[in-house]
C-alpha cells in the first residue's frame, strides 16, 4: 500500500511519515513538496529524501504567480488578510494529485488539523479526483508536545522547540505564524516571530519611492525595469520588508466558525494591492468601483473557503478581467516606516479630467450646478421639513 503525503518539511508533516507506516500500515510513503516560493524548499527536500521512501519536489512558482495576478486584479483580501495560504492550497493539491496518479497511490495524506481551513481546501481537490484521504493530525488529535517527543523517538530532528513552537506557513505571497503563546490574543507578539519585515521603528529614517507599472491589472515593471512576476514580487518583499511594511496581527473568522488570532507578513502584497487600488480609482467609473467591491468580497470568500472550483469563481474572474482592460498605467508610492503611501499615478485611460475639475479653468460654467443642487437631496429635505411640522 502506497500513500502520497503533501510535505512541507515541518514538524506535523514529518511526524506523519512514521505515523503513516506504524499507525496506518502503509509500506511506502511518497513525500511531495510543492515549491511556491517558500524559503524552506531545499530543507524540505533534504528531509523528505531522508525520512520518506520516495521524494518529489515540484516547481509550481510560475503557476502560483499566475494565480497571484488574478488575486491582484481582485485586490484579494479576506477580513484584512491577503489570502496567501488559502490561494495556494488548491494549486498544491492539484500538483499532489498529479503525483498520486503517476505513482498509482492508494491514498493521499496531509498534515492539517481538524481545526483549520486547510483541510477543507486540500480535500475539496483530493475528493474531486476520487482519492481516499488520510489526515493523521486530525484523526489522532495529537498535540505539538506529543509530536515533538514522538519525532525524537524516531530519530527525526525537530525544526521547532518547545520555546518557539510556532506553526509557520510560507510562500511567495505571505508568511503566516500561528500557535504557542500567540494563541492568546491579549499576548503581544515578540519581535522574533517576524522574518520578512523589520519593525517599523527599526526601519530606515529615509523614505524610499517605488514606481509600479501595470498592464491590464498586472504588475509588469518596477522603477522602469520590466520584470517577471516572480522577480517583481521577490524584490518588493525585500524592499518593503526593509521598510517594515506588511505586518498583520488580526482576529480571523475561520470557515468552521472558530475565531483565531493570526499573524502575517506580506510586504509585496501590501504594496501591490495598494498600488493597484490606487490605479483603479483613476480609471474605473464610480459604478464599476462600487460594484467591483461586492465582486471582490465574494471572490475573496471563495478563495478563503477553498471553493475556487465553484463555477462562480470563473464568472467573477471574467467580470474582473473585463474591468481590468483599462487598468494600465503606473503608480508611485512612498515607503516609510511601515506605511505605503501612493504619491503619484498616471494612466492614458484615466477618467479624470484636470480641465474640468481644476480651480483654475473655466471649461465648465459653474452656474449649471445651481439647477442640479436644487434637486439634489430633495426627498430628504421634504422629509425633514415635514418632521419639523412644515408643509
* Residues found in the chain: 391
Q: Which helix (H) or strand (E) holds 375?
A: helix 368-375
Angle separating helix axes 267-283 and 286-304, nearest 10 degrees: 150
Q: Binder to ligand ARG among 86, 197, 237, 308 (CB under 6 A)?
A: 86
Q: Binder to ligand ARG among 77, 123, 147, 169 (CB under 6 A)?
A: 169
Indicate if 381 belongs to the active site: no
Is 167 an interacting residue with respect to ligand ARG (CB under 6 A)? yes
* Contact mark string toward ligand ARG, 260..299, x via CB under 6 A: --x-------------------------------------
Q: How far is the CB of 334 from ligand ARG (least distance, A)?
A: 30
Is 176 an interacting residue with respect to ligand ARG (CB under 6 A)? yes
Q: Which of these, 134, 160, 163, lies nearest to 147 by C-alpha position?
A: 160
Indicate if 181 belongs to the active site: no
Indicate if 384 belongs to the active site: no
Q: Residue 75's CB: how many other CB atoms inside 10 A?
A: 22
Is 252 an interacting residue with respect to ligand ARG (CB under 6 A)? yes
What are the DSSP E strand ranges found in the chain?
2-6, 28-35, 54-59, 107-109, 133-134, 167-170, 175-178, 208-215, 218-222, 225-226, 247-253, 259-265, 329-336, 339-346
Cα separations (Å) of 270 from 6, 10, 138, 199, 241? 29, 27, 33, 16, 10
How many residues touch ligand ARG under the rule CB under 6 A: the total is 11
- Residues 349 to 388 in contact with ligand ARG, rule: CB under 6 A: none
Indicate if 12 belongs to the active site: yes
Compute the distance between CA of residue 129 and CA of residue 136 in angstroms, rounded to an integer: 20
Is 168 an interacting residue with respect to ligand ARG (CB under 6 A)? yes
Q: Binder to ligand ARG among 31, 117, 213, 274 (CB under 6 A)?
A: 117
Q: How far is the CB of 261 from ligand ARG (least distance, A)?
A: 10
Nearer to ligand ARG (CB atom), residue 94 or residue 106 = 94
Nearer to ligand ARG (CB atom), residue 140 or residue 255 = 255
Q: Which residue of the set 6, 8, 12, 86 is catalytic?
A: 12
Question: In this structure, are residues 215 and 338 in contact, taking their beta carbons and an 8 Å threshold?
Answer: no
User: Cell numbers of 225, please?
Assistant: 525595469
Sign of the torsion angle spanned by Cα atoms 308, 311, 317, 320 = negative
Give catalytic residue positions: 12, 89, 118, 167
Task: Kindly list the residues in this chain that would bind ligand ARG in the complex (CB under 6 A).
Answer: 85-86, 116-117, 167-169, 176, 178, 252, 262
Amino acid at each position: 500500500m502506497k500513500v502520497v503525503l503533501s510535505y512541507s518539511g515541518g514538524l506535523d508533516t514529518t511526524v506523519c511519515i512514521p505515523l503513516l507506516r506504524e499507525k496506518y500500515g502503509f509500506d511506502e510513503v511518497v513525500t511531495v513538496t510543492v515549491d511556491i516560493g517558500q524559503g524552506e524548499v531545499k530543507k524540505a527536500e533534504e528531509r523528505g529524501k531522508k525520512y520518506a521512501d520516495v521524494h518529489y519536489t515540484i516547481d509550481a512558482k510560475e503557476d502560483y504567480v499566475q494565480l497571484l495576478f488574478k488575486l491582484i486584479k481582485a485586490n484579494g483580501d479576506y477580513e484584512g488578510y491577503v489570502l496567501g495560504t488559502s490561494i495556494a492550497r488548491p494549486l498544491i493539491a492539484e500538483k499532489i494529485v498529479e503525483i498520486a496518479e503517476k505513482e498509482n497511490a492508494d491514498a493521499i495524506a496531509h498534515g492539517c488539523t481538524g481545526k483549520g481551513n486547510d483541510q477543507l481546501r486540500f480535500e475539496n481537490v483530493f475528493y474531486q479526483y476520487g482519492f481516499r484521504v488520510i489526515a493523521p493530525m486530525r484523526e489522532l488529535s495529537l498535540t505539538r508536545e506529543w509530536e515533538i517527543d514522538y519525532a525524537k523517538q524516531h530519530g527525526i530532528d525537530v525544526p521547532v522547540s518547545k520555546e518557539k513552537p510556532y506553526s509557520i506557513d510560507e510562500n511567495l505571497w505571505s508568511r503566516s505564524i500561528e500557535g504557542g503563546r500567540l494563541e492568546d490574543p491579549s499576548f503581544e507578539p515578540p519581535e522574533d516571530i517576524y522574518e520578512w519585515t523589520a519593525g517599523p521603528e527599526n526601519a530606515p529614517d529615509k523614505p524610499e519611492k517605488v514606481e509600479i507599472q501595470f498592464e491590464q491589472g498586472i504588475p509588469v515593471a518596477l522603477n522602469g525595469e520590466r520584470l517577471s512576476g516572480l522577480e517583481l514580487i521577490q524584490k518588493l518583499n525585500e524592499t518593503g520588508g526593509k521598510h517594515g511594511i506588511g505586518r498583520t496581527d488580526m482576529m480571523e473568522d475561520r470557515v468552521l466558525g472558530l475565531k483565531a488570532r493570526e499573524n502575517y507578513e506580506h510586504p509585496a502584497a501590501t504594496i501591490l494591492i495598494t498600488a493597484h487600488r490606487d490605479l483603479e480609482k483613476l480609471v474605473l467609473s464610480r459604478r464599476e468601483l462600487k460594484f467591483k467591491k461586492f465582486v471582490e468580497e465574494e471572490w475573496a470568500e471563495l478563495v478563503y473557503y477553498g471553493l475556487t472550483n465553484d463555477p462562480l469563481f470563473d464568472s467573477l474572474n471574467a467580470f474582473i478581467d473585463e474591468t481590468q482592460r483599462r487598468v494600465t498605467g503606473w503608480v508611485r508610492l512612498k515607503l516609510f516606516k511601515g506605511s505605503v503611501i501612493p504619491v503619484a499615478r498616471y494612466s492614458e485611460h484615466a477618467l479624470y479630467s484636470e480641465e474640468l475639475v481644476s480651480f483654475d479653468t473655466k471649461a465648465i460654467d459653474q452656474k449649471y450646478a445651481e439647477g442640479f443642487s436644487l434637486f439634489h437631496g430633495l426627498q430628504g429635505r421634504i422629509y425633514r421639513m415635514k418632521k419639523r411640522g412644515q408643509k
